């Protein structure tokens, strides 16, 4: 095993982890604050990719779509929260599962009708095309950008939650919504904003993933399964957990895929199973 | 009593659900004769929907043409579509619904080989025909053969055979096999390995990524490390697109020549120019130059505004052949008679002559090796035929995946 090879595989794992983080952190956030397992989360990721495709085609600028597409997805998410989810928070969890699952089906069908079944290509912007020499390994620039994007988003997200007033309110609502409401926080608004933010993050993941996987039907379903594994391993509602979970799943898929590709998936589910048995609240989650 | 808003919403929702479930997706016509129903448990959602769309396009064109001519045995053809979601268990359930509730005698349109294997196994019990126009796994007409299953399309081993024959003449010596981890992918890689080894070449590695793999980076690393000169790829549509997209970013095609088990228009459309120069086998390249095909491509383009992809062509051929066989058998209700009429029968397909072998129900037909090239006449890359092989050369020995 040569050094360049090890570096390449480490970068591969990091790039995949970055992508998984962008998707799973929103899923985790929504659960932490709204107490909802959002099945539609993957579809917002897919929407991000398709909107990114449309915007790149129309404007010719990847950077513009990297900002605008997630914003649009975020608005759509917030609108859906205040028009549907808002009315069933008090119902049993099965209602919320059914609703978000239904939303996922409707949105996916809408995309199929609008865009057709053929995958849509998105090219990386010119400065990110091609590859660079890195300690002996030849590595695609776009994947390095993905890693950087993941790190930057994780850092600012952490700042937002831990160091701003809005983040404080958010944590208060997560801990005890009723008490936070009594103390003057507008819980309903917090929920709408959080749902929108989570969708925007998923959308960002989608735009960022598009140059790597194209925009295609079913990409939401395929990512949501991994995202669930990430949050179960890391702990629902914990950002640090999403980070750790993403790294574990990313590394397991990359190295597992290399050495024992047949069992790569089994390894991840094995880890998840072990966590569920010995630490059901996840690595970073809080025991309830 | 006044209806409250809540009651209304509830009623409307129930009504909507009943509407959605009660009426199968068919268009009924005012015919005196009972229609001949063909059940299509195909994939209409998710990443394999691109194939279901091809099935639908082909059936729409053929249905319109045959019904305008008075149908088959004076009866119109009717197509009933069901979405299997690319899941074998669902495919069996939907097929059972088509057989028991709709009373179809003919099934077709299954997308994944794993679905076809599951549905085919039930056909002797249901006494209905499953006609494959898409499924590639060699086992369907070999180990898992039953007399209710007919394969119109080129199988995976047949595609691998055409490629292997082509590569036998090339200076490349070392190959890597990458196939999706299910029946068709594994089958095709096994078949390619066997044939390429017989041609005195070397297979330096094989791997099987799961269906729906998002990140092929570690497989790409493995292919590079193997120092192969060519990589044989048996990945279904979307997986193939993703693999290519990533392989290009890693600069893989500069070092290792990609060779596709199926080179489809879908991939060429989704990837555009980077796909130029890729070589693969094709089950039906729409560029094949026969009078029948030229006319078909024109009619197809008129109706759908796009050029026919592989499974558009093969599904159209299947439906046409089946109609001819029903006509010959003189019945669409006695499945045994239809089987007898089909066995050892010939058919003039779009790309050349077809023959249905009695021994394993595999259609003998020409094999093609094609290359993705630019042509100013078309809005996307097109498959240029590099070489075509006669059916006898690319069809395996009866009920095996071996070649003479």
Average pLDDT over residues B131-141: 96
Across the interface, do B242 and A213 touch by the CB < 8 Å criterion? yes
Residue A10 CA to residue A255 CA, distance in Å, equals 9
Mean pLDDT in chain B?
A: 90
**Cα end-to-end distance, chain B, whole Å:** 81
**What does the pLDDT read at residue A176?**
87
**What does the pLDDT read at residue B93?**
97
For residues B188 and B234, the answer to whether their CB atoms sit within 8 Å is yes
**What does the pLDDT read at residue B17?**
45
Average pLDDT over residues B369-388: 96
- Look up the pTM and report it: 0.86
The token pair at B235 is 């990945």
Of B78, B85, B28, nearest to B52 by C-alpha is B85
Could you say which residues of chain A have pLDDT below 70? 1, 287-288
Across the interface, do B46 and A218 touch by the CB < 8 Å criterion? yes
Q: Which of A46, A101, A107, A119 to mutate to test the interface with B (most CBs of B within 10 A)?
A: A119
**What does the pLDDT read at residue B32?**
61
Average pLDDT over residues B98-118: 96
**What does the pLDDT read at residue B92?**
97
Residue A225 CA to residue A108 CA, distance in Å, equals 16
**What does the pLDDT read at residue A125?**
92
**What does the pLDDT read at residue B174?**
96
| Chain B contact residues (CB < 8 Å to A) | 45-50, 52-53, 181, 207-210, 212, 214-215, 217-219, 221-222, 225, 238, 241-242, 245-246, 249-251, 266, 269-272
CA distances from A80 to A39, A77, A217, B25, B402 (A): 13, 5, 21, 29, 57
**What does the pLDDT read at residue A106?**
94
Pick from B46, B249, B272: which is nearest to A221 by CB? B46
Number of DSSP helices (H) and strands (E) in chain B, helices first:
14, 15
Q: How confident is the model at residue B23 (pLDDT cuts 50, 70, 90)?
A: very low
Question: What is the ipTM metric for this complex?
Answer: 0.88
Across the interface, do A218 and B212 touch by the CB < 8 Å criterion? yes
What's the pLDDT tens digit per position in B197-214?
Answer: 999 999 999 999 988 888
Across the interface, do B219 and A142 touch by the CB < 8 Å criterion? no
**Chain A residues with CB inside 8 Å of B273's CB?**
none
**B155 to chain A nearest CA, in Å?**
24
Pick from B219, B238, B250: which is nearest to A119 by CB? B238
CA distances from A127 to A40, A141, B77, B251 (A): 33, 8, 55, 16
**What does the pLDDT read at residue A215?**
94
What's the alpha-carbon Rg for chain B, to the nearest Å?
Answer: 22
Residue A256 CA to residue A243 CA, distance in Å, equals 19
For residues B138 and B396, the answer to whether their CB atoms sit within 8 Å is yes
For residues B266 and B309, the answer to whether their CB atoms sit within 8 Å is yes
């Amino acid at each position: 095993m040569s050094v360049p090879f090890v570096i390449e595989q480490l970068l591969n794992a990091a790039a995949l982890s970055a992508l998984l983080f962008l998707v799973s952190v929103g899923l985790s956030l929504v659960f932490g604050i709204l107490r909802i397992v959002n099945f539609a989360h993957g579809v917002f990721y897919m929407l991000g990719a398709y909107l990114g495709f449309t915007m790149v085609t129309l404007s010719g600028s990847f950077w513009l779509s990297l900002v605008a597409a997630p914003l649009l997805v975020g608005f759509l998410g917030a609108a859906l929260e205040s028009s549907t989810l808002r009315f069933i928070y008090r119902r049993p969890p099965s209602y919320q599962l059914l609703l978000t699952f239904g939303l996922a089906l409707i949105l996916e069908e809408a995309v199929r009708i609008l865009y057709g079944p053929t995958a849509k290509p998105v090219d990386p912007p010119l400065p990110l095309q091609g590859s660079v020499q890195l300690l002996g390994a030849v590595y695609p620039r776009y994947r390095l950008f993905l890693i950087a994007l993941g790190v930057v988003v994780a850092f600012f997200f952490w700042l937002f939650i831990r160091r701003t007033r809005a983040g404080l309110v958010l944590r208060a609502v997560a801990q005890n919504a009723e008490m936070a409401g009594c103390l003057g926080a507008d819980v309903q608004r917090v929920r709408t904003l959080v749902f929108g933010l989570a969708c925007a993050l998923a959308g960002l993941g989608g735009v960022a993933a598009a140059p790597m996987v194209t925009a295609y039907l079913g990409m939401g379903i395929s990512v949501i399964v991994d995202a669930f594994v990430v949050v179960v391993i890391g702990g629902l509602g914990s950002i640090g957990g999403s980070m750790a979970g993403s790294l574990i799943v990313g590394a397991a898929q990359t190295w597992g895929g290399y050495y024992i590709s047949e069992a790569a998936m089994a390894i991840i589910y094995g880890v998840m199973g072990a966590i569920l048995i010995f630490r059901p609240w996840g690595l970073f989650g809080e025991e309830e | 009593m006044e209806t409250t808003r809540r009651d209304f919403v509830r009623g409307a929702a129930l009504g909507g659900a009943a509407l959605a479930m009660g009426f199968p997706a068919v268009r009924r016509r005012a015919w005196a004769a009972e229609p001949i129903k063909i059940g299509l448990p195909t994939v209409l959602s998710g990443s394999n929907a691109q194939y279901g769309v091809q099935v639908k396009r082909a059936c729409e064109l053929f249905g319109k043409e045959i019904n305008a001519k008075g149908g088959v045995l004076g009866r119109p053809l009717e197509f009933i579509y069901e979405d299997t979601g690319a899941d074998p268990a669902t495919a069996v359930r939907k097929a059972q619904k088509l057989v028991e509730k709709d009373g179809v005698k003919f099934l077709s349109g299954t997308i994944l080989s794993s679905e076809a294997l599951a549905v085919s196994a039930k056909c002797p019990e249901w006494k209905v025909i499953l006609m494959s126009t898409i499924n590639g796994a060699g086992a369907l007409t070999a180990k898992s053969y039953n007399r209710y299953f007919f394969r119109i399309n080129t199988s995976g081993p047949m595609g691998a055979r055409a490629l292997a024959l082509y590569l036998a003449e090339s200076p490349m010596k070392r190959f890597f096999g990458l196939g999706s981890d299910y029946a068709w992918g594994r089958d095709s890689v096994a078949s390619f390995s066997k044939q390429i080894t017989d041609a005195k070449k070397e297979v330096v590695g094989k791997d099987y990524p799961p269906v729906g793999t998002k990140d092929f980076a570690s497989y790409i690393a493995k292919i590079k490390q193997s120092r192969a000169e060519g990589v044989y790829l048996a990945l279904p549509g979307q997986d193939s697109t993703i693999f290519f997209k990533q392989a290009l970013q890693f600069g893989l095609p500069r070092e290792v020549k990609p060779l596709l088990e199926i080179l489809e228009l879908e991939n060429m459309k989704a990837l555009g120019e980077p796909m130029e120069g890729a070589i693969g086998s094709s089950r039906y390249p729409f560029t094949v130059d026969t009078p029948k095909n030229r006319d078909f491509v024109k009619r197809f383009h008129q109706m759908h505004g796009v050029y026919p992809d592989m499974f558009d062509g093969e599904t159209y051929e299947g439906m046409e052949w089946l109609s001819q066989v029903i006509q010959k058998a003189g019945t669409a209700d006695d499945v045994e008679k239809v089987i007898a009429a089909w066995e050892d029968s010939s058919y003039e397909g779009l790309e050349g002559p077809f023959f249905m072998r009695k021994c394993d129900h595999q259609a003998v037909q020409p094999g093609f090796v094609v290359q993705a090239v630019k042509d100013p006449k078309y809005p996307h890359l097109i498959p240029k035929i590099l070489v075509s092989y006669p059916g006898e050369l690319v069809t395996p020995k009866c009920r095996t995946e071996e070649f003479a």
